[in-house]
Amino acid sequence: MLGGHMPAEATTPVIEFRDVFYRIEQIQILSGLNLQVEQGEILVLLGRSGSGKTTTLKLVNRLVTPTSGEIRVHGVPNDQGDIIRLRRRIGYVIQDGGLFPHFTVERNVGLVPSIEGWPAARIRARVQELLDLVGIPAELASRYPRQLSGGQRQRVGVARALAADPGILLMDEPFGALDPLTRDELQLEFLSLQQRLHKTVLFVTHDLREALRLGSRIAMMETGKLVTVLSPEEFLRSADPWAAAYVRAFGDGLTSLANRGKS
């Protein structure tokens, strides 16, 4: 049903949320989250604003610390060991790229390799390789982020996240700020990239079309709770009231979208 995405049963999930609660002061942001992200899949967190999907994402690289429960990365609770090391093994992409405005494209992409102490020649080669991978012409390497278009910034953001070749990618509405044509283009390119790289991806969006197109599985969130986890085909057929409400809100023509991403 899920194509080649599901691994054999015995393997440890790459990311695992166990009974995670998160509260700021008296406000309950997440309650009782249990979720596994498997090797090589794109798990989409879908939900409206304030449903807790971005918080869920930030729990993985510990930008957010849970009130209770634990998050395991490759089977190891992520509050054990060096948090800086953990973050450098996880790629992080946010809306509009989150690029450093005072660094050139080249320095932005080469940042993690450079703080990891790679030799300059290796960094330069890696940056060229990555820019090529995400379709940024080499002559843009010396530009500053504000001299790029939104789509180019987003590509650079993806390249930067991939720089140290992390196994995991966290993506927080990466294509949310783009015009529809550019978004479409980047979604398709991201899928073909993923077919080559096989990263484990946790992807946040509120856009059902995007979720259907990119997701191996869709985890639907509402007011801090995980409602259901479904494949794109299942999602369209689902009788779950939240899922059905989402499908209704996005109207007709969704069926053809589901699983365009499958190889």
Partner 1 sequence: MNVVRFILQNHVQVLELTLEHLWLVGFSTLLAVLVGVPLGIVISHRTSFSKPVLASANIIQTIPSLALFGFLLPLPWLGERSDRLAILALTLYALLPIIRNTYTGIRSVDPAVVEAGRGMGLTDSQLLFQVELPLAVSVILSGVRVAIVISVGLATIAAAIGAGGLGEFIFRGLAMVDNRVILAGAIPAAILALAADLGVGWLEKRLHAR
Binding site for partner 1 (CB under 8 A): 58, 61, 63, 84-88, 90, 92, 94-102, 111-112, 115, 144, 146, 160-161, 170
Q: What Rg, from alpha-carbon coordinates, does the chain have?
A: 18
Query: What number of helices (H) and strands (E) belong to the chain?
Result: 10, 10
Q: Which is nearer to partner 1, 36 or 95 (CB)?
A: 95
Least Cβ distance, residue 64 to partner 1 (angstroms):
11
Q: Which is nearer to partner 1, 43 or 109 (CB)?
A: 109
Least Cβ distance, residue 77 to partner 1 (angstroms):
18
Least Cβ distance, residue 249 to partner 1 (angstroms):
28
One-letter amino acid of 56: T
Q: Mark out the alpha helices in 198-223 (DSSP H runs).
A: 208-214
Distance (Å, rounded) from C-alpha 254 to C-alpha 246?
11
Least Cβ distance, residue 21 to partner 1 (angstroms):
22
Q: Which is nearer to partner 1, 89 or 225 (CB)?
A: 89
Q: Which is nearer to partner 1, 162 or 258 (CB)?
A: 162
Pairing mode of beta strands 200-205, 42-46: parallel
**CA torsion sign, 8 to 14 to 18 to 23?**
negative
**How many other CB atoms are there within 10 angstroms of residue 143's CB atom?**
15
Q: Which is nearer to partner 1, 36 or 104 (CB)?
A: 104
Indicate the SS3 state at residue 257: helix
Distance (Å, rounded) from C-alpha 183 to C-alpha 233?
22
Q: What does the angle CA 200 – CA 96 – CA 255 come to, to the nearest 5 degrees? A: 60
Question: What's the token pair of residue 111?
Answer: 């940042």
Backbone angles phi, psi at 80, to 5 degrees: -95, 140
Q: Which is nearer to partner 1, 9 or 82 (CB)?
A: 82
Q: Which is nearer to partner 1, 63 or 244 (CB)?
A: 63
The DSSP symbol for 13 reads: P
Least Cβ distance, residue 144 to partner 1 (angstroms):
5
